[in-house]
Chain A
Amino acid sequence: MYPRWLWPSFALPGVLWLIILFVVPFYAVIGVAFGTIDPILLSAVPIWNPVEWNVGWVSEVLSRLEPGGDFWTVFVRTCEYVFASLGLSILIGYPVAYYIARHASRTKSLLLILLIMPFWISYLMRMFAWVNLLAPDGYVNRFLQFAHVIDQPYGFLDGKSSTVIFALVYGYIPYLILPLYASLDRIDKSQLEAARDLGASPLQAFLRVTLPLSKTGILGGCVLIALPMFGDYYTPNLVSGAPTTSMLGNQIDLYFHSTSQPTIGAALTILLSIFLVVLMGYYMITVARATRDLESV
């Protein structure tokens, strides 16, 4: 009923926008990373033609990314932080999502609203709240001293890895719980009843029915929070600020904002993106599949 040109022309402004301000900018990063540095102004001179690319900076970054190099240490640390945070987030998030999906009947709407709340509170505000609580004279230290767990205020904010992991969990866990909840909520109860009728113990039913059926939710949620965690720099900066807890994002931030070496920063950004493309691809294929299912209904 509609003319054939209508839908592509509707899509045109948005597609053009994203090409000009999302795809082209990425090429700018590549151009800078493979470019040179002006010897006098010390500013980046991008090279647009792939034939003339200067691989010097990228290979320098790559050599520092090999075991023993300084970027390697940061890369390993970033992976440790992200995986520790993912593990903790699942440990906390799964029972919560499970309870709300399966057991909360009357309180379900209220719990869902409370669950979504953190989405609408600025991430910076939530981190700021914890910085206040963990300060030497903050509530946490005063409580611990009151309970005689510690005598002196503990320096939570003095470059502790555990604080950074804790902050990452606190910051990103809402984005994990929601997809988890969605996948658990979708599970047909009759399948569990069937498992129980066929003699599975409750634990077996959970391990062999619920858990496999929620696998997509777990993986999807993990990817969804792992991606921003890998690019995070503000969380470690806010709750620690010490170089001993710096993540890959901090290095990128540093090369652009503190030392003006955008070439190294750009090269790091590209390597980070290549590393993350696998995760992104996984997520986008899942989304594309879900969209197709929606369309076919």
Chain B
Amino acid sequence: MTRIRGWLANPWGRPRFLVLITWGYIAWSIVPVLIAIQFAFNSSRSRTIWSGFSMRWFTWDPSDSVKNDPDLRHALGQSFKLAGADVLIAVPIGVLLALGLARWRGRGAGTSNFIMLFPLVTPEIVMGVSLLLVFTHIFTFIHTGTFAQVLGHITFSISYVVVIVRGRLFSIGRQYEEAAADLGASPAVALYRVLLPLLTPAIVAGAAITFAISIDDFVISQWLSSGGGTVTVPMLIYDATRAAPLPSINAIATIMVLVTLLTVLVGFLAYRYFTRGERAAGGGMVGDMAAFDI
């Protein structure tokens, strides 16, 4: 009680119960995942009773490990295939769209901007249903399957790239390009030699985030899947959870967590590297992180 009164009297003091809530929340949000990761290394077939450390579910179980179960291996491959294709196509389209939308003033600019924002707020199930129906009734030459999944992933990724790149465009302003033009650069040179290097951190961040959201996506992959060979890792986790999963599901989920965290970490470090000269001007790490929260 005295603590609460002490906090009320001096809100800039150390509020212990807020500390408790905050660390409690952090533990609550992360510990369950750590426990799931722990059971990836379980030596028995249980996901709930620990019986010692082993790499069984990653490598040596003859039929059910990630290495030896063809379904698991294939799902891993499918997830990477979709994420890779997504990055290769969504990032260039998104970067161009961000540039276009940030600077295009004229008829159609407002509407285009509006259309760009919509995928960010549309519930995934609505996108899933509409893409499924468009592929079964209008673009019937595209069947559900890997190609449809790639198209779907790109559709929801573009807007994320735009938001990240556009944020960066606003923060760098136009003065560098204007200076380049004053010094005699042609528009093409100003774009290529001035704007592109300045945008690199945002492009890298956009690529990392696109990869991460694509690899973690479940809904779009599921709605556009044609079963069998188009199952991704999140779909596999979903199906297995409702059946009777083995720790190999924990193992493959662990691999995905590591891949995603590694991607984001690499993206983040690259972002820091490309903006290293700007840190003195303020912003700092918290500012950098703004690029990583959507």
A and B co-occur in one complex: yes
Q: Is A132 an interface residue (CB 8 A)?
A: yes
Main secondary structure of the interface of A (DSSP, over half): helix
Count of inter-chain pairs, beta carbons less than 8 A? 296
Q: Is B119 an interface residue (CB 8 A)?
A: yes
Q: Is A17 an interface residue (CB 8 A)?
A: yes
Contact across chains for B93 and A128 when beta carbons are under 8 A apart: no
The docked-state distance in angstroms from the alpha carbon of A277 to that of B119 is: 12
Q: Is A243 an interface residue (CB 8 A)?
A: no
Q: Is A79 an interface residue (CB 8 A)?
A: no
Contact across chains for A231 and B123 when beta carbons are under 8 A apart: yes
Contact across chains for B30 and A23 when beta carbons are under 8 A apart: no
Interface residues on A, range: 35 or more
The docked-state distance in angstroms from the alpha carbon of A170 to that of B27 is: 12
Q: Is A219 an interface residue (CB 8 A)?
A: no
Of the candidates B19, B96, B250, B293, the one whose C-beta lies within 8 Å of that of A99 is: B19
Of the candidates A3, A174, A241, the one whose C-beta lies within 8 Å of that of B29 is: A174
Main secondary structure of the interface of B (DSSP, over half): helix
Q: Is A261 an interface residue (CB 8 A)?
A: no
Interface residues of B, count at CB 8 A: 103
Contacts of B242 on A, CB cut-off 8 Å? 237-238, 241
Mark out the residues of chain A between 33 and 65 whose CB falls within 8 Å of any chain B CB in the assembled complex.
44, 46
Mark out the residues of chain B between 1 and 29 whose CB falls within 8 Å of any chain A CB in the assembled complex.
7-12, 14-15, 18-19, 21-22, 25-26, 28-29
Contacts of B162 on A, CB cut-off 8 Å? 14
Mark out the residues of chain A between 277 and 297 whose CB falls within 8 Å of any chain B CB in the assembled complex.
279-280, 283-284, 287-288, 291, 294-295, 297
What are 16 A-B residue pairs whose CB atoms fall within 8 Å in the complex?
A11-B96, A15-B100, A22-B118, A95-B22, A109-B285, A114-B29, A118-B33, A121-B261, A122-B237, A122-B253, A132-B35, A139-B48, A170-B29, A234-B219, A249-B125, A269-B129
Sort A-B residue pairs by CB-CB distance and give the 10 closest, nearest first. Answer: A11-B100, A231-B123, A14-B97, A25-B130, A10-B100, A25-B134, A129-B36, A7-B104, A99-B18, A129-B32
